[in-house]
Amino acid sequence: MKYWLMKTEGSEYSLEDLKRDKRTAWEGVRNFQARNFMQEMREGDLILFYHSSSEVNGVYGIAKVAAIAHSDKTQFDPQSDYFEKRATKEKPVWYCVDIEFAKKFAKPVTLAELKSDPNLEGMRVRERGSRLSVQPVSESHFKRVVALGR
DNA sequence: GCCAACGTTGGC
DNA sequence: GCCAACGTTGGC
């Protein structure tokens, strides 16, 4: 089993939204590295759910991979912001996984906390200028963040 | 294949 | 709202 971190703008789609929807297709990722990481995900993998560009940036809780990567349908929709003219049904360019709500932390583990915890050294999201919206997380880092969220 | 220009992300 | 850092595009 692997562990991941996924970013979202809290005002766009928050953990509360996921809790309400229970499950959603993580559409709209338009970055190759992020796409490749999603293709590595397996059902049951756990995800730290991170809000960026929010009042309080940080990990708000946990989501779980509910379905492995499949074609992102928004790439075929000319009305969509995520339309991709290079994509065909036979050869899609973009993929997404389905994720489901797992847990909301008692309080978010803020970016400041992530940065100041010596146990979390090496976590990608801590790095200045880190823009990758889907990233792998080590098991020990994952467990540490969950402990901080309790 | 290089790299400048551009658009976007994301912390502050 | 600002701006630094980043990823992608496209001309050469």
Q: For position A40, which CATH number holds?
A: 3.10.590.10
Nearest DNA or RNA nucleotide to A50 (CA to C1') = B10
Check pLDDT > 90 for residue A28: yes
Q: Does residue A86 form part of some domain? A: yes
Query: Do the beta carbons of residue A94 and residue A29 sit within 8 Å?
Result: yes
Task: Give the domain range for residue A26.
Answer: 3-144
Query: Do the beta carbons of residue A42 and residue A2 sit within 8 Å?
Result: yes
Separation of A84 CA and C12 C1' (Å): 26
* Alpha carbon distance A87, A81 (integer Å): 14
Confidence band of A58 (pLDDT split at 50, 70, 90): very high
Nucleotides of C under 7 A from a protein CB: 4-8
Q: Give pLDDT, residue A85.
A: 87
User: Integer distance in angstroms from the first to the last C-alpha of chain A?
Assistant: 22
Nucleotides of B under 7 A from a protein CB: 8-12
What digits encode the pLDDT tens for the residues A88-145?
999 999 999 999 999 999 999 999 999 999 999 999 999 988 999 999 999 999 999 9
Q: Give pLDDT, residue A31.
A: 95
pTM for the full model?
0.95
CB A132 under 7 Å to nucleic chain C: yes
* Alpha carbon distance A17, A87 (integer Å): 29
Q: Does residue A121 form part of some domain? A: yes
Overall number of domains in chain A: 1
- Which backbone phi and psi does A58 adopt, to 5 degrees? 160, -175
Q: Where are the alpha helices (DSSP H) in chain A?
A: 15-21, 32-40, 111-116, 139-149
Q: Does residue A105 form part of some domain? A: yes
Q: Does residue A149 form part of some domain? A: no
Nearest DNA or RNA nucleotide to A86 (CA to C1') = C9
The 10 Å Cβ neighbour count of residue A62 is 20
* Alpha carbon distance A9, A80 (integer Å): 18
Q: CA A101: distance to chain centroid?
A: 12
Query: Do the beta carbons of residue A6 and residue A48 sit within 8 Å?
Result: yes
Q: Does residue A100 form part of some domain? A: yes
Nearest DNA or RNA nucleotide to A35 (CA to C1') = C7
